[in-house]
Amino acid sequence: MSQRSTPADISFNLTVGLIAGIAILILVAPVLIVIATSFTTTQALRFPPPGLSLRWYGELFDPVRSAPIHTAALNSLWVAGWATVIGSVLSVLAALAITRVSRPSARALEASFLSPLVLPTLSYGLAALMFFSVLGIRPSLNLLIAGHLVVIAPFVFRTTLASLTQLDPALLEASANLGASRFYSFRRITLPLITPGIAAGAFLAFIASMDNVPVSLFLSTARTSMLPIRMWGMMESTLDVRIAAIAGVLIVAILVLMVVMDRFTGLTRRVSA
């Protein structure tokens, strides 16, 4: 930059830099602390760790002693996976339908599809529990999938709708003009062009389900325990260092997934847009 910075510029840059620095510290420091703690040699969930070892990771992956954690993790993955798949299909269909209807009704529908995002999830969890007991449906993983579905589908709906509204209508006209049926146009033009949006939303939805506490709190039982609930339970009873190890595994897994997603879909661009 050839322009000279004025004192005002410098103080502005300093302030912005300072605020950004504090924000990064608050966001990143806890993550670093929990990861560091997970490598401790001692029994205590304490920072800084007196020594470093993989002891607690060994403990975490022990198939016998950590069996309940493994069950909870598999339950969480199962629920998150199915809720994401079903939620994505439904959201894509809803978004496609909404882009075809007239403006005022589209607005109303859009708001109602997005309402789970603003609804207090805790209230929803309680309501769902009562609703399902009135219906006489017993708690199960399927029930958890249904419960999670409601709160995570809006993520996919939102990103898909954004992709669809950005789609140039001339492309679909060109496709029709070249002889393509509606379905052919959807398969070869619409779907490939909105896939990054769907994937970005599905990624967010999957993560939202993985660490959802409020809904799982009400809908899970001892037999259908979910990972965050199990972690909370361990925290309350034993202060087990394996909790830090679980956190470490989750953080690394999600970071890896995010890098992969970003490669394919430009996730960061979509979420920040």
Partner 1 sequence: MASQHTATAQAAQPLTLDGVTHSYGTGFAVDNVTLEVKGGELVALLGPSGCGKTTLLRIVAGFISQTNGKVIIGDRPIDVLPPNRREIGIVFQNYALFPHMTVAENIAYGLAARGESRAVQAERVAEMLATVRMEGFADRKPRQLSGGQQQRVALARALAIRPRILLLDEPFAALDKNLRLDMQIEIKRLQRQFALTAIMVTHDQDEAMSIADRIAVMSHGKIEQLGSPVEIYDEPATLFVNNFIGSSNLLKGRVVAVGPDGYRVELDSGAVWTLASKGRFETGAAVLVSVRPEQMVLADEAAPDRLPVALKLSLPIGGALIHDATAAGGEDIKIAVPRRPGALSTGPGTAFAALAPHARPSLFPATSS
Name the site residues for partner 1 (rule: CB under 8 A): 168, 170-171, 173-181, 184, 188-189, 192-193
Nearer to partner 1, 114 or 193 (CB): 193
Q: Minimum distance between the CB of residue 188 and partner 1, rounded to whole angstroms?
A: 7
Tokens in use for 73? 């993790």
C-alpha separations of 139 from 146, 151, 157, 185 in Å:
11, 18, 27, 42
Pick from 209, 199, 221, 165: nearest CA to 269: 199
Nearer to partner 1, 102 or 237 (CB): 102
Q: Minimum distance between the CB of residue 180 and partner 1, rounded to whole angstroms?
A: 4
Q: Minimum distance between the CB of residue 38 and partner 1, rounded to whole angstroms?
A: 42
Q: Minimum distance between the CB of residue 194 and partner 1, rounded to whole angstroms?
A: 11
Distance CA 198, CA 94 (A): 12
**92 CB contacts (<8 Å, ≥6 apart)?**
156, 160, 194, 198
Nearer to partner 1, 131 or 184 (CB): 184
Q: Minimum distance between the CB of residue 172 and partner 1, rounded to whole angstroms?
A: 9
Nearer to partner 1, 62 or 168 (CB): 168
Nearer to partner 1, 5 or 181 (CB): 181
Nearer to partner 1, 130 or 174 (CB): 174
Distance CA 155, CA 84 (A): 10
DSSP string, 167-221: S-HHHHHHHHHTT--HHHHIIIIIHHHHHHHHHHHHHHHHHHHHT--HHHHHH--
Q: Minimum distance between the CB of residue 259 and partner 1, rounded to whole angstroms?
A: 22
Query: C-alpha angle 21/23/27, rounded to 5°?
Result: 115
